[in-house]
Amino acid sequence: MTIIDANGGLPPAEDNPWYLLATLHGTSVPSPRREARNRCAWNRYYANRLRPDDREKLKGRVPEEELVPLDENELIDWRNLFTKRAGNREIMMPDPNDLIEFSEFDFSLSCSFSGFIFFECQFIRSIFRGTVDFIGCSFQVFSNFSGTKFIVGANFKNSMFEGVSFKGVEFSRGGAFFNNTSYGAHADFSHIKFPETVHFHRAAFKKSADFKCTRIGGYLDFREANFGGWAGFQGAEFAAEVDFTDTEFQAPTNFDSCRFEKCPPQLDGATLHQRTNWRRVTWPSLQGLELRQVEDLTDAYSCIKLEMDKQKRHHDELMFFSKELECRKVEQGKVKGFPISLYAWTCDYGQNIILPMIWLIDLILLCWNIIMLTYMPEITWDKALLASIANSFGSFGVRKELMESLTKAASTGMQMFLMLQGIVALILIFLIGLGLRNRFRMK
């Protein structure tokens, strides 16, 4: 249920008891010293909930003095500070064992939660209108940011999550930074709108990661990331470069129905799982691109093709090879690229069996009509058709049928035409065989 204040919007953050606790020493003059005091006050208030294994994980991340629980006298001091921070408002100090609830509040000022220790927490459908820093935070259990709006971006660098949901989050402007973050349980980044750059450089997803139906308008940085569980990008849209350089996918990865508008993913040095799904992907159009951009696409497709070859995924390898040839055709121009165009027209780069069959049938019918015009009325239609078929399959030892069907010797011009028909037919038969081999991986 959404909380509405008297003015029809979300209530201000100053009415939230957890926000008052997080800014126990105030926010009037932001400074590193004040932020450090606020962080220390928050962490010590929740330090009593830390188990021995939690403390072990936090070594080196949180100063040791911030992991010391409050004694009775300090707890009284904390309550007095909270009462002073609340002012005339009747707001009770939160119980450290309760759910940390920041949901449906309007954070009009810039916020710094850097280095905070969070237990069960929710920021559902809140609005952050200023800059917000969660740098180096430790989320000990599940945290939920679903439906939150970040007007000026957000920074989660070096944070440690267990389970987390960013489902449906909106970033109006400014980048989102998740560099060096780690995720101990499922991470949900589905249905997010990122208008600008997003950084997951060296992020570690120990379990599953869901980026389904996410829209990224700028550069997406997954360099040196590690996916320990399955990764889902179904229906995601990438408007700019997607960089998976040196990324490791240790479990099945799904790019089903993705849309790459500018370029395919950069996978230089990446390790893909054998079950990587590329079905129904929309690849970038080559129209209107500069030569340098086309060359970059060629290299990208070539890199993915080599990775598919390593995994013996022949059909995916063939698909990326066809994309590489399309780019090379544009690189070489209409004249030098004409043989590649012929290869595309006749068999779709070896991926199609029906196309060369249709071309072969058309060739037989064309030659049938020419033979009929040349030998009428001495030859009947069925004998002319037999002659055209026999000439097309002459390489298989049936060429003698041609001489038996014709009523007189062919002229020099006709002999040259029949020879050309035989050569073209042989090429088309080879392409049919190539398509069958590629379809069924015959060796």
Sequence ranges of the domains in the chain = 354-440
* Residue pLDDT tens, the chain, 443 long: 444 444 448 999 999 999 999 999 988 666 888 999 999 999 999 999 999 998 988 988 999 999 999 999 999 999 999 999 998 888 999 999 999 999 999 999 889 999 999 999 999 999 999 999 999 999 999 999 999 999 988 999 999 999 999 999 998 888 899 999 999 999 999 999 999 999 999 999 999 999 999 999 999 999 999 999 999 999 999 999 999 999 999 999 999 999 999 999 999 999 999 999 999 999 999 988 899 999 999 999 999 999 898 888 888 999 999 999 999 999 998 899 999 999 999 999 999 999 999 999 999 999 888 888 887 777 778 888 888 888 888 766 655 555 455 555 667 788 888 889 889 999 999 999 998 888 887 44
Instruction: List helix spans (H) across 285-443.
Output: 291-310, 314-336, 338-347, 354-375, 381-392, 400-405, 412-440
- pLDDT given at position 6: 40
Q: What is the chain's Cα-based Rg?
A: 33
**Residue 49 backbone dihedrals phi, psi, to 5 degrees:** -85, -10
Identify which of 220, 227, 266, 270 has the alpha carbon closest to the alpha carbon of residue 247: 270
72 CB-near residues (< 8 Å, 6+ apart): none
Contact status, residue 296 vs residue 263, Cβ threshold 8 Å? yes
Identify which of 324, 282, 327 has the alpha carbon closest to the alpha carbon of residue 303: 324
- pLDDT given at position 406: 57
* Greatest extent of the chain over all pairs of C-alpha atoms, in Å: 119
**Strands, E, within 160-317: which ranges?**
160-161, 164-165, 170-171, 176-177, 182-183, 187-188, 193-194, 198-199, 204-205, 209-210, 215-216, 220-221, 226-227, 231-232, 237-238, 242-243, 248-249, 253-254, 259-260, 276-277
Share of the chain residues as helix, strand and coil, in percent rounded to the nearest 5: 40, 15, 45
- pLDDT given at position 169: 95
CA angle 80, 85, 89 (to 5 degrees): 100
Element (H or E) spanning 17, and its range?
helix 17-22
CA dist 120 and 176 (Å) reads 23
**Strands, E, within 84-189: which ranges?**
100-101, 106-107, 111-112, 117-118, 121-122, 127-128, 132-133, 138-139, 143-144, 149-150, 154-155, 160-161, 164-165, 170-171, 176-177, 182-183, 187-188
CA dist 321 and 349 (Å) reads 8
The pTM assigned to this predicted structure is 0.83
CA dist 218 and 198 (Å) reads 7
